[in-house]
Amino acid sequence: MRNRFDRQLCQLNDELIEMGELIEKAIEDTIKALVSQDVELANAVINMDDEIDAKEKEIENLCLKLLLQQQPVAKDLRLISSALKMITDMERIGDHATDISEITIELSSQKYIKKLEHIQQMSKETMVMLVQSIEAFVNKDIDKARNVIEQDDIVDNLFITVKRELIGMIHENVDAGEQATDLLMVAKYLERIGDHATNISEWVIFSITGSHDNKK
């Protein structure tokens, strides 16, 4: 019985890694589409959201099956309930990638008012956070989970930089206001992605220790 349960837990890890890879690709492609103003790629990211939602449902069903059929003890129960919380955050990351792609389509015919290097940097940081938070769950690595939580400060600081730059541009040129607001929303979605990766890491810590760890 335990062997079967352990096999199903391994399957849960594999499914979470697969969902993480889908979301990582969505973030990478949505920023690539934004930078190159590639409408086709932006639409592909929007269409990918259905695949992410389907994967969430798949993992949810596996977790419920484990809870109902195996009657897990406290530690295993924490693990499964944490996975259920994690996939909610992961699905929301996919939603934000879609949100960014929708803005990309809106801006596709406009010349950008600024270089997007800080936005690109934000996306790289959030992808690292996402991958490491899932690795922390699979490997039961508390230190890695805590590192992700600390890394959120980098994303927050980049958001503050982007916000300051864009507000400065609006003050200099009122006509830049609409695009500046759209780009600010892109940065805000990336900041939220960082927050969701932080939430995932907090659930990882809970799954191991039984308590929430909000260390910064």
Instruction: State pLDDT tens for residues 130-140.
Output: 999 999 999 99
Residue 186 in any domain: the answer is yes
CATH code: domain of residue 184: 1.20.58.220
In contact, 37 and 104? CB cutoff 8 Å: yes
Give the total number of structural domains in the chain: 1
Q: What is the pTM of this model?
A: 0.94
Which residues neighbour 126 within 8 Å (Cβ) at sequence distance 6 or greater? Answer: 27, 155, 190, 193, 194, 197
Task: Print the domain residue range for 155.
Answer: 2-209
H or E element in which residue 45 lies = helix 39-70
Q: Directed axis angle between helix 142-172 and helix 117-139, to 10°?
A: 160
Sign, CA dihedral 187-42-127-192, equals: positive
For the chain, the C-alpha Rg in angstroms (whole number) is 19
Residue 216 in any domain: the answer is no
What's the pLDDT tens digit per position in 145-194? Answer: 999 999 999 999 999 999 999 999 999 999 999 999 999 999 999 999 99
